[in-house]
Structure 1
Amino acid sequence: MALKRPSAKYKIDRRLSLNLWGRAKSPFNKRQTAPGQHGARRGKLSDYGQQLLAKQKLRLHYGNIGERQFRRYYLEASRLRGDTGQNLIGLLERRLDAVVYRAKFVPTVFAARQFVNHGHVTVNGKRVNIPSYQVKDGDVIEVRQKSKDMGLVVSAMESQERNLPEYIQVDEKAKKAVFLRAPKLEDVPYAVQMEPNLVIEYYSR
């Protein structure tokens, strides 16, 4: 599903019946029903339905990651030591576009992907234009000098809509961030409850 129009992400909120990113402009804040003339009526979800919804929420939160790529994250998380669900969250939060979004360099995760694609970001001084690039502990992520005064960046950093997470250290004046560590689930400022354990169950079937 291509998200070509700025309003498309709000349709996701309506479809999932929640404010996925916690944005003040989300239509879900005014109308808490699914799309359609009368709103879709939903019964109690089956175990599979709950697992599928958990996967959709997590995948869409990070900018509608493709199913094939998202499954690769699961496979990599399952190979790492420790809790697979926590590993999955850590891999997703290490995405460069996710870090750019968490650091408040841009207002949305969709804008973060485009921002990285267009070459506005450096990692340890080198330009990186791959949104899925995996950031390492201690990496320095910075908005390129010529991009620091962009209206998109300035307004995002001035916004009070989101708080900065503790696992990313941000120098707002320099528009520079240091990725300190991979977070645990409870460290990530999700606007809605995420259930990576259900996502693991979905792929483990």
Structure 2
Amino acid sequence: MSKRSSAKYKLDRRMGENVFGRPKSPVNRREYGPGQHGQRRKGKMSDFGIQLRAKQKLKGYYGDVTEKQFKRTFQEASRMKGDASQNLIGLLERRLDMVVYRAKFAPTIWAARQLVSHGHIRVNGVKCNIASRRIAVGDVIELGSKAQEMALVIEAQSLAERDVPDYVSPDGTSKVQFTRVPTLDEVPYPVRMEPNLVVEFYSR
């Protein structure tokens, strides 16, 4: 399991955007960066800086996926047919922890990863504790009986700030089916993601 290596909202403040779309984000109160120099006027960013920022934002959104994992996912996406940036998003959205998060079984991506690693999630009826497992179209993801009564799960399901996307089809409150691999436009990101810049960053 990838350990969260930084404070949850540090990414928000560094990027100056509410990356996770959470109501408690400090960016909702202050748009400038952290520290005593946070309000300084920023200089023009280089092309490399813009690409790096896009990569950090996308990688951070998926819950501090390690650089090694993220680069491996990009390499796989670039070998697939079609647009590498769309392929990258499709592969990231097929992670088990992400499907659990999209299904509103957990309030945050980190809570979703914890649910998976603690053995509370079943894929096609079989318990799975690997957060990075790649989900296939047609797979059924289900909450274990204990998890259905957890306060964390009940809280997540009542969140009004996000909806279950079309490519995750609910069957009751504790089961969903992954119906198709989404395109960038279908993924409900709270901020604009630019996977094309990530492709440029790794293709240098």
Q: TM class by shorter-chain length? A: over 0.9
| Residue 4 of structure 1: how far off its partner (Å) | 6.6
Tell me whether 1:191 sits opposite 2:190 in the alignment: yes
| Residue 164 of structure 1: how far off its partner (Å) | 1.1
The 8 Å contact of residues 52 and 202 in structure 1, kept in 2 or not, is answered as yes
**What residue is the counterpart of 2:124 in the other structure?**
124
**What residue is the counterpart of 2:11 in the other structure?**
12
Counterparts of 2:62 and 2:93, CA distance in 1: 9
| Residue 128 of structure 1: how far off its partner (Å) | 0.6
The 8 Å contact of residues 20 and 57 in structure 1, kept in 2 or not, is answered as yes
Change (3 A) 1:50 1:4: closer
Counterparts of 1:168 and 1:43, CA distance in 2: 42
Q: Deviations over 1:119-169 (max 9, x none)?
A: 110000001100000000000000001210100000100110111111100
**What residue is the counterpart of 2:105 in the other structure?**
105
Change (3 A) 1:164 1:151: same
Q: How does 1:13-32 map to 2 (within 5 A)?
A: 13-32=12-31
SS at 1:141 equivalent:
strand
Counterparts of 1:156 and 1:76, CA distance in 2: 32
Q: Which structure 1 segments of 5+ residues have no match?
A: none
The 8 Å contact of residues 157 and 172 in structure 1, kept in 2 or not, is answered as no
185-194 or 163-172: bigger deviation: 163-172
TM-score (normalised: structure 2):
0.95
Give the residue type in structure 2 aligned to 1:63: G
Counterparts of 1:141 and 1:181, CA distance in 2: 14
SS at 2:13 equivalent:
helix
Counterparts of 2:67 and 2:99, CA distance in 1: 21
| Residue 114 of structure 1: how far off its partner (Å) | 1.0
| Residue 34 of structure 1: how far off its partner (Å) | 0.7
Q: How does 1:58-69 map to 2 (within 5 A)?
A: 58-69=58-69
**What residue is the counterpart of 2:167 in the other structure?**
167
Counterparts of 1:2 and 1:15, CA distance in 2: 20
Q: Deviations over 1:5-32 (max 9, x none)?
A: 8xx2112211111100111110110011
Change (3 A) 1:40 1:75: farther
| Residue 3 of structure 1: how far off its partner (Å) | 2.9
**What residue is the counterpart of 2:142 in the other structure?**
142
Give the residue type in structure 1 aligned to 2:4: L
**What residue is the counterpart of 1:3 in the other structure?**
4
Counterparts of 1:15 and 1:79, CA distance in 2: 32
SS at 1:178 equivalent:
strand
Q: CA RMSD in A?
A: 1.4
Tell me whether 1:35 sits opposite 2:34 in the alignment: yes
Give the residue type in structure 1 aligned to 2:196: N
The 8 Å contact of residues 96 and 135 in structure 1, kept in 2 or not, is answered as yes
Q: Which structure 2 segments of 5+ residues have no match?
A: none
Give the residue type in structure 2 aligned to 1:116: V
Change (3 A) 1:109 1:186: same
Counterparts of 2:172 and 2:97, CA distance in 1: 17
The 8 Å contact of residues 5 and 64 in structure 2, kept in 1 or not, is answered as no
Change (3 A) 1:49 1:82: same
Counterparts of 1:47 and 1:116, CA distance in 2: 38
| Residue 40 of structure 1: how far off its partner (Å) | 5.2
Counterparts of 1:102 and 1:121, CA distance in 2: 14
